[in-house]
Amino acid sequence: MALHEDRRKISIRLTFLQSGITLAFALLAVGFWVVQVVQHAKYEEMAENNHQRTLALRAPRGLVFDRRGAVLVENRHSYSISIVREHTKDLNRTIRLLAGVVGVDEARVREIVDRHRREPTFRPITILQDATLAQVAAVTARRLDFELPDIVVEQVPTRQYPETMAAHLFGYVGEVNDAQVSEDDALKSGDIVGQSGIEKVYNAMLMGHDGAKRVVVNSVGREIRTLDEDEPTEGKRLQLTVDYDVPESHRRRVRFDRIQWRRCRPRS
């Protein structure tokens, strides 16, 4: 009787064990099916991104001319320094090291990164625009030493204005803010738009269309070769009615007349 009872208990235990093993293999099978079939596209894209990157190419803004066709506002090449969080293993270390290398306050760098935390990790966060050659050289040297593999130095078009005339007329450009992004669906974080003056009024016309470049990178994110490239499109050109080449004697006369008018203007 006791032997029969022992056999029954062992049989029950084996049944539970077999059921547990069967359930475990069933869960594994379902998990494999989800990964390989349901989420196939997601993991395929992740695998591709291990060796391919899509880099944005900023479009130059349209030139601005005076009424005779002389260039008033044009573009020049400059360098921007950005962090790509997708490539970093220790973001705090990168922020601390980058701030020391380029000579920028660490709190300022953290503020910029925090403002863009909700964006996709593959999108570069621009830390420094119009960087000096010394800053570019310092960052590049540390990239070669694998100290800053998650830092990207890019050559981008930057606005160049006349030095001595009409600053209030031309205005200036700057990175789009959150309010502007929410108001215009065509804008995205990181875009450069007109903030005042003609740059703001004719922003839609002067803005070009950014391009993109798909490249193959190695394990530390360094570009090996370019797969394909979509060239950016320059913004439309704008011709004003102002005359850049006004004789100096006329400029002095205009300033003198304004001074006299202000002196003779009756007080209210």
Q: Which CATH number do you get for residue 163? A: 3.90.1310.10
SS3 65: strand
Is residue 131 one of the residues assigned to a domain? yes
Within 8 A by CB and 6+ apart from 3, the residues are none
- Look at the chain and report how many structural domains it folds into: 1
Residue 76, in any domain of the structure: yes
- CA-to-CA dists, residue 241 to 121, 173, 244, angstroms: 45, 21, 10
Q: What is the pLDDT of residues 5-17, one digit of tens each?
A: 667 777 777 788 8
CA gap 259, 17 in Å, rounded: 100
Stated length of the chain: 268
Would the pLDDT of 222 be above 70? no
Q: Which domain holds residue 190?
A: 54-239
150-170: average pLDDT: 85
Taking the C-alpha atoms of residue 192 and residue 201, their distance in angstroms, rounded to an integer, is 14
Residue 200: inside a domain, yes or no? yes
DSSP 179-219: HHHHH-TT--TT-EEEEEHHHHHTHHHH--B-EEEEEEE-T
Average pLDDT of the residues in 172-192? 81
Domain-embedded: residue 195:
yes
Digit-coded pLDDT (tens) for 51-96: 777 778 889 999 999 888 889 899 998 999 999 887 788 889 999 9
pTM over 0.75: no
Can you tell me the mean pLDDT for 155-174?
85
Residue 161, in any domain of the structure? yes
Summarize pLDDT for 197-212 with one digit per residue, the tens: 999 999 989 998 888 8
Q: Which one has a higher pLDDT value, 6 or 161?
A: 161
